């Protein structure tokens, strides 16, 4: 099929296929992201440290391969990279139920699968973010990113609850197999996109030099340097929260996989609202004020100790809803600013640099949260230990917005 280059009119159908494919990919992320740790905790009886390692492994792919992906992708057809990456993710997760049928599934395989799928996710993510400006006019990037963030937030609402339902009604083997199917749907949708990037001029620049170029651009740019630093701190706090939240739900509150999925999904109610309002808030308040406003997330997590004294499940749901709306706002604004401030030739490299630096702190947060949760639970009890980790991680995530207080008003 002959494609349409970005120098020609951008067809609306291409953006629709891109959006639907990204949505399917988000759903696959949420389904497998909930199903795998749930299987580890409920079926394989994983420890808090093992859950922390499992949570961290997928994110280790960014520090290991993110910069390489960013340097390589400007010279590789990005649509093909996205399709291949989604197929690899499906195959990786499908090996778990296959091994379970053969009687060989264990934590070791879960670690390997999550790591492989994480590497594929890096290439899909970098290719997708750098491909979007080819489909959307520059002045429409904030709106397009807001639509994508809405899909991401919706997947967080539907995905965990659906995964919990699948695990409960079909069992872990069939449930995980079905949870991986959206990756195939995403791969198919991307084959329907006709817009093709123009040929990139051949370069003899070594890949290490391209990586250095991206790092230098971010380091020397005053706005991007502040935002990436703040995002790295936010990711560390979020990693702590994610590492122990399901442990707290299952082992302290005694929730089932279905109830746990509904609890995790509750945060996406606020996320949907945040994604919906992000464009409006940015236009009304400006970039700096909107980013500072996201620090309200820290105040929400300070209320987590209330789970020990009154209606624990209800209180945790409310905290999830109130705190969940701020990350989508942050993501929409910072991604749009980065895409607008980065030259076209550096889109892949700079996006990979920013994502690598910010995502590298997620596994550190997950490992910190997992091991701290284990130690504190031993000395203080599971309830107090996990609550302390959740409160600390949430406050770190939200207060990171204060690091962008000096963002110029005109940005």
Q: How far apart are CA 231 and CA 330, in angstroms?
A: 9
Residues 107 and 79 sit within 8 Å (Cβ to Cβ):
no
Mean per-residue pLDDT of the chain = 83
Other C-beta atoms lying within 10 Å of the C-beta of residue 80: 12
Binning pLDDT at 50, 70 and 90, where does residue 190 land? very high
Q: What DSSP designation does 105 have? A: -
**pLDDT given at position 355:** 81
> pLDDT per residue over 319-361, tens digit each?
888 888 888 888 888 888 888 888 877 877 888 788 888 888 8
Rg from Cα positions in the chain: 21
Q: How far apart are CA 153 and CA 270, in angstroms?
A: 8
**pLDDT given at position 89:** 95
> pLDDT per residue over 55-87, tens digit each?
778 778 878 888 888 777 777 888 899 999 999
Q: How far apart are CA 73 and CA 66, in angstroms?
A: 11
Q: How far apart are CA 411 and CA 405, in angstroms?
A: 12
Specify the DSSP element, H or E, that contains 169: helix 141-179
Residue 283: CB partners within 8 Å, gap ≥ 6? none
Residues 358 and 228 sit within 8 Å (Cβ to Cβ):
yes
> pLDDT per residue over 131-162, tens digit each?
887 788 777 777 788 888 788 878 877 887 78
Question: Which is nearest to 363 in space by CA: 46, 122, 37, 60?
Answer: 60
Place of tokens 């979007």: 132
Q: How far apart are CA 8 and CA 40, in angstroms?
A: 49
State the average pLDDT over residues 83-95: 94
Q: How far apart are CA 40 and CA 166, in angstroms?
A: 16
Question: Which is nearest to 368 in space by CA: 257, 208, 267, 237?
Answer: 237
SS3 call for 205: coil
Question: Which is nearest to 146 in space by CA: 311, 11, 334?
Answer: 334
Binning pLDDT at 50, 70 and 90, where does residue 189 land? very high
Residues 292 and 403 sit within 8 Å (Cβ to Cβ):
no
Q: What DSSP designation does 65 have? A: I
Residues 338-344: contacts with CB under 8 Å, at least 24 apart: 338/224, 338/227, 339/129, 339/132, 339/133, 339/141, 339/145, 340/138, 340/141, 341/221, 341/223, 341/224, 342/217, 344/133
Question: Which is nearest to 275 in space by CA: 153, 141, 128?
Answer: 153
Residues 307 and 408 sit within 8 Å (Cβ to Cβ):
no
- Find the angle CA(149)-CA(152)-CA(153) to the nearest 5 degrees: 90
> pLDDT per residue over 222-242, tens digit each?
888 888 999 999 999 988 998
Q: How far apart are CA 42 and CA 405, in angstroms?
A: 43
Place of tokens 């464009």: 279
> pLDDT per residue over 16-63, tens digit each?
899 999 999 999 998 998 888 888 888 888 887 788 788 778 778 878
């Amino acid at each position: 099929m002959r494609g349409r280059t970005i120098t020609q009119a951008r067809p609306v159908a291409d953006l629709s296929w891109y959006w639907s494919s990204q949505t399917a990919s988000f759903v696959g992320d949420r389904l497998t992201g909930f199903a795998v740790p749930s299987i580890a905790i409920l079926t394989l009886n994983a420890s808090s440290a093992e859950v922390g390692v499992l949570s961290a492994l997928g994110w280790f792919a960014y520090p290991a391969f993110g910069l390489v992906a960013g340097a390589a992708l400007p010279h590789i057809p990005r649509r093909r990279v996205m399709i291949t990456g989604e197929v690899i993710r499906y195959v990786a997760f499908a090996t778990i139920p296959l091994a379970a049928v053969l009687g060989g599934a264990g934590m070791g395989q879960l670690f390997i699968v999550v790591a492989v799928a994480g590497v594929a996710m890096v290439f899909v993510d970098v290719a997708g973010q750098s491909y979007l400006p080819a489909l959307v006019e520059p002045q429409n990037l904030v709106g397009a990113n807001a639509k994508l963030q809405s899909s991401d937030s919706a997947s967080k609402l539907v995905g965990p609850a659906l995964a919990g339902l699948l695990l409960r009604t079909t069992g872990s083997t069939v449930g995980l197999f079905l949870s991986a199917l959206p990756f195939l749907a995403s791969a198919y949708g991307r084959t329907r996109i006709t817009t093709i990037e123009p040929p990139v001029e051949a370069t003899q620049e070594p890949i290490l030099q391209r990586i250095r170029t991206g790092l230098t651009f971010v380091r020397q740019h005053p706005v991007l340097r502040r935002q990436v630093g703040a995002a790295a701190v936010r990711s560390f706090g979020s990693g702590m929260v994610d590492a122990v939240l399901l442990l707290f739900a299952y082992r302290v509150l005694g929730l089932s996989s279905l109830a746990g999925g509904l609890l995790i999904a509750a945060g996406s109610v606020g996320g949907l609202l945040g994604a919906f309002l992000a464009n409006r808030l940015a236009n009304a308040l400006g970039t700096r004020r909107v980013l500072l406003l996201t620090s309200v997330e820290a105040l929400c997590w300070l209320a987590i100790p209330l789970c020990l004294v009154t209606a624990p499940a209800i209180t945790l749901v409310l905290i999830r809803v109130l705190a969940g709306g701020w990350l989508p706002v942050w993501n929409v604004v910072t991604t749009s600013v980065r895409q607008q401030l980065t030259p076209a030739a550096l889109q892949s490299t700079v996006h990979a640099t920013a994502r690598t630096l910010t995502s590298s702190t997620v596994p550190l947060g997950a490992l910190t949260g997992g091991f701290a949760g284990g130690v504190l639970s031993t000395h203080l009890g599971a309830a107090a230990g996990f609550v302390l980790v959740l409160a600390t991680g949430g406050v770190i995530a939200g207060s990171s917005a204060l690091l962008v207080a000096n963002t110029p008003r005109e940005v």
